[in-house]
Amino acid sequence: MLNRSEILVSLDIGTSKIKVIIGEVSKDTMNVIGVGVAESKGMKKGAIVDIDQTVHSIQNAVDQAERMVDMEIRSVIVSINGSHIDLQDCHGVVAVSSETREIADEDIQRVIEASQVMSIPPEREIVDVYPKQFIVDGQDEITDPRGMIGVRLEMQGTLITCGRTNLHNILKCVERAGLQVQDICLQPLASGDVALSPDEKNLGVGLVNIGAGSTTVSAFIDGNLVETSVIPLGGDNITKDLSIGMKTTTEEAEVIKQDFGHAYLKDAMEENTFNVTTIGSKEKQTFNQVQITEIIEARLAEIYHFVQQEFRRMGFRDLPGGYVLTGGVMSLPGVEDLARDILQTNVRLSVPTHIGVREPHFTVGLGTLQFAYRNAKIQGKEYVSGISADTHSAPKSNQKTKVEAKPKNEKEKTRSKDKENLVKRLQNYFFD
């Protein structure tokens, strides 16, 4: 039997696909035991434009994952992204409360809460605090101070805020799909956990995640995320260009892109031919790989130029770790070679190595599980199982929000109450 207390579920709401990944944590190692992927409807350029369609797409992806493990998914860790995300430095200081001066979970919780005492505009909401380092009596660069002896505890971290309406819409979709939001994770932090090595993060590296609706660029310096930005261009723009160039439907253009597409003209093969149905008629035209590669390369080159400009705008002209590419568009052959030509630096392609999710578009979903689990341990958050004890065959509750499993004893009850996380407060704010 699986230890259900260590099963977590991530939800990545993308523009073209919605991905659900069920992970089992065993001895701090994440194993993927279930995956669900559904076509995303109701999303444009990374933002929700139709709540009902998005809810239906989430339910489809959840159903797929549930059938794989024969369990019912009850709560999920949601990854968020978008131009409405803002990062700012925060700093908290508290006195260690214990008589023995030993730092405990309660002190960590208090110093994190102290770091959030700052002026936030009314239209923005604090999503999370990501600790960069803890300082005990002047000793810095501590990752986990629990058990140490000290009088003064400080924390330097990154405060993540986002637009209240954007967050409201995401929470509403997940809640209407019959799920609880267990935690919220920032996509660049999640993908960086899977795509980047500690050395790259310390040296200084640019992470480029090219999805269907948008491209997320993130800069990591000294081991931490320092800035992130979203460019409203992605794989859908390539598909649209192909659709216009071949005079066919976007659906067929997408299939052609996946089956015959190449991003680097020097490596494209003229003898690789295929037929395409002309839109509005039953006539078929014959194209070769070189013809569509000219279209793909032109649009992808434009995206890379925007990426380079965005990093320069952030103030990062030369990153020693170069650039790491990930995201759904990176499944096209030749993307790495084209990036090297345009960015003129070292470029690496990152693909998850876990069995069942060895595709670039799973980077965010897998990273959400890994990063959220590790960050929860640092902050002293308590995660309950993302799945219920009932099997998938059991009827789903019709209630909008499912009730979490109750703690086993009064001590745990009190601790859980004290550590009520942000998501519950947000759900109370929006839905009660």
Give pLDDT tens digits for 310-345. 999 999 999 999 999 999 999 999 999 999 999 999
User: Residue 382 pLDDT > 90, yes or no?
Assistant: no
Residue 259 — very low, low, confident or very high, per pLDDT cuts 50/70/90? very high
pLDDT above 80 (res 180)? yes
Q: Which CATH class is domain 4-82+165-189+360-431?
A: alpha beta
Residue type, 245: G
Which of 93-102, 138-147, 195-204, 381-390 shows the lowest mean pLDDT across its residues? 381-390
Average pLDDT over residues 163-181: 94
Closest Cα to residue 221, out of 211, 206, 242? 206
Verdict on whether the full-model pTM lies above 0.75: yes
Q: What is the pLDDT of residue 302?
A: 98
Looking at the predicted structure, is the pLDDT value of residue 414 above 80? Answer: no
Q: How confident is the model at residue 390 (pLDDT cuts 50, 70, 90)?
A: low
Note whether 430 and 172 are within 8 A (CB). Answer: yes
**Category of 76 on φ-ψ map: left (φ > 0), alpha (ψ -120 to 50) or beta:** beta
- Do 4-82+165-189+360-431 and 198-349 show the same overall fold? yes
Q: CA nearest 292: which of 241, 222, 229?
A: 241
Q: Per-residue pLDDT for 268 more than 90?
A: yes
Q: Are strands 152-163 and 86-95 parallel, antiparallel or unpaired?
A: antiparallel
- Residue 412 is predicted with a pLDDT of 41
Backbone angles phi, psi at 318, to 5 degrees: -135, 105
Of 110 and 407, more confident: 110
Q: Is pLDDT at 24 greater than 80 in this prediction?
A: yes
CATH number, domain 86-164, options 3.30.1490.110, 3.40.50.261, 3.40.1280.10, 3.40.30.10 = 3.30.1490.110
* Closest residue by Cα to residue 7 from 18, 19, 26: 26
Confidence grade of residue 26 (pLDDT, cut at 50, 70, 90)? confident
The 3-state secondary structure of the chain reads CCCHHHEEEEEEECCCEEEEEEEEEECCEEEEEEEEEEECCCEECCEECCHHHHHHHHHHHHHHHHHHHCCCECEEEEEECCCCCEEEEEEEEEECCCCCCECCHHHHHHHHHHHCCCCCCCCEEEEEEEEEEEEECCEEEECCCCCCECCEEEEEEEEEEEEHHHHHHHHHHHHHCCCEEEEEEEHHHHHHHHHCCHHHHHHCEEEEEECCCCEEEEEEECCEEEEEEEECCCHHHHHHHHHHHHCCCHHHHHHHHHHHCCCCHHHCCCCCEEEEECCCCCCEEEEEHHHHHHHHHHHHHHHHHHHHHHHHHHCCCCCCCCEEEECHHHHCCCHHHHHHHHHCCCEEECCCCCCCCCCHHHHHHHHHHHHHHHHHHHHCCCCCCCECCCCCCCCCCCCCCCCCCCCCCHHHHHHHHHCCCHHHHHHHHHHC
Cα distances (angstroms) measured from residue 191 to each of 28, 139, 219: 18, 30, 12
Mean pLDDT of the chain: 89
Find residue 168's DSSP bridge partners: none
- For the chain, domain boundaries: 4-82+165-189+360-431, 86-164, 198-349
Structure confidence at residue 6 (pLDDT): 83
Topology classification of domain 198-349: Nucleotidyltransferase; domain 5 (3.30.420)
pLDDT digits (tens, 9 = 90+) for 105-154: 999 999 999 999 998 999 999 999 999 999 999 999 999 999 999 999 99
pLDDT at 228: 96
Share of the chain above pLDDT 70, in %: 89
Mean pLDDT, residues 234-247: 97
Q: What is the mean pLDDT of residues 342-350?
A: 96
Q: Is the dihedral of CA 44, 50, 53, 55 positive or negative?
A: positive
Predicted local distance difference test score (pLDDT) of residue 427: 55
CA separation for the pair 215, 230 (Å, rounded): 6
| Range in 311-325, 373-387, 405-419 the model is least confident about | 405-419
Pick the more confident residue, 413 or 257: 257
Residue 404 confidence class, pLDDT cut points 50, 70, 90: very low
Over range 50-70, report the average pLDDT. Answer: 96
Q: What is the mean pLDDT of residues 69-95?
A: 94
Give the pLDDT score at 422: 52
pLDDT of residue 410 exceeding 50, the answer is no
Contact between 328 and 40 (Cβ < 8 Å): no
Q: What is the pLDDT of residue 306?
A: 98
Using the predicted structure, report yes or no on whether residue 159 has a pLDDT greater than 80: yes
Contact 361, 216 (CB under 8 A): no
Does the pLDDT value for residue 266 go beyond 50? Answer: yes
Model pLDDT, residue 387: 85
Instruction: Assign 28 a pLDDT band (cuts: 50, 70, 90).
Output: confident
Of the listed ranges 41-45, 208-212, 246-250, the least confidently predicted one is 41-45
Identify residue 311 by its one-letter amino acid code.
F
Closest CA to 67 of 41, 33, 40: 33
